[in-house]
Amino acid sequence: MGILVGCEQISMEWPGKKVLTNQTIGVNEGDRIGVVGKNGDGKSTLLDLIAKRIEPDSGNVIWRSGIQVGYMGQSDSLSDTQTVCSAVVGDTPEYEWASDARVRKIIDELIGDLDWNGLVGELSGGQRRRCDLARLLVGTWDLMLIDEPTNHLDLHAIQWLANHLKNRWSEGNGVAHSGHPRPLVFGRGL
């Protein structure tokens, strides 16, 4: 199995707190990684570093050439003026996403109760979270990074998500997520 992302001797410090000190980790093809810890332990920071959303104070984050990385943070970046449809499938023509059974299942399970033509700005926090999660899951990624994926999800959605992430890929793709007190996806813990 090949490596998707390598973090070499990364260090990160926020004012008054060392979050990571000379850590070397890798995410390999097929990895299912849960980043577990208390609030403030650096789970989000680690995912942001792996996603290259922030730069480490020292060390390197190296992505395999051509890798496609999907990311969902704790706060969504959805536009209030987008429709639910646009937020989830973007500009993909309806005949493409509607003919994909995987995409239809994700939409049905996570946001089937939402008005497809309704505005994101009219959704509750939990509905926005499910919409953003659907956006991430319908994508085709080599590595998916999800920060606190179960926030605002009910038990049914959490169980569905856990099964989806465990069964989604054959060897070759990876997923890493943060959570507490235990990871959603069984595999390697950090």
Strands (DSSP E) contained in 37-141 are 58-63, 69-72
Token reading at 183: 């990871």
pLDDT tens-digit profile of 83-121? 999 999 999 999 999 999 999 999 999 999 999 999 999
Q: Residues in the chain, how many? A: 190
pLDDT computed for residue 189 by the predictor: 47
Quickly tell me which residue has 């989830």 as its tokens.
88
DSSP state, residue 78: -
SS3 of residue 8 by DSSP: strand
Quickly tell me which residue has 């996403």 as its tokens.
97
SS3 of residue 183 by DSSP: coil
Cα–Cα distance, 62 to 173 (Å, whole number): 16
Contact 136, 166 (CB under 8 A): no
Q: Omega before 183 cis (within 30°)?
A: no
| Residue 88 CA neighbour count, 13 Å, CB half | 30
What's the pTM value of the predicted model, to 2 decimals? 0.86
Residues spanned by CATH 3.40.50.300 within the chain? 1-68+144-152+168-190
SS3 of residue 126 by DSSP: helix
Across 167-175, average pLDDT? 67
Specify the CATH number for 1-68+144-152+168-190; select among 3.40.50.720, 3.40.50.300, 1.20.1440.230, 1.20.1580.10.
3.40.50.300
Contact 47, 33 (CB under 8 A): no
pLDDT tens-digit profile of 5-56? 999 999 999 898 899 999 999 998 888 888 888 888 888 999 999 999 999 9
Contact 146, 154 (CB under 8 A): no
- The string of DSSP letters for 83-108 reads BHHHHHHTT--HHHHHT-HHHHHHHH
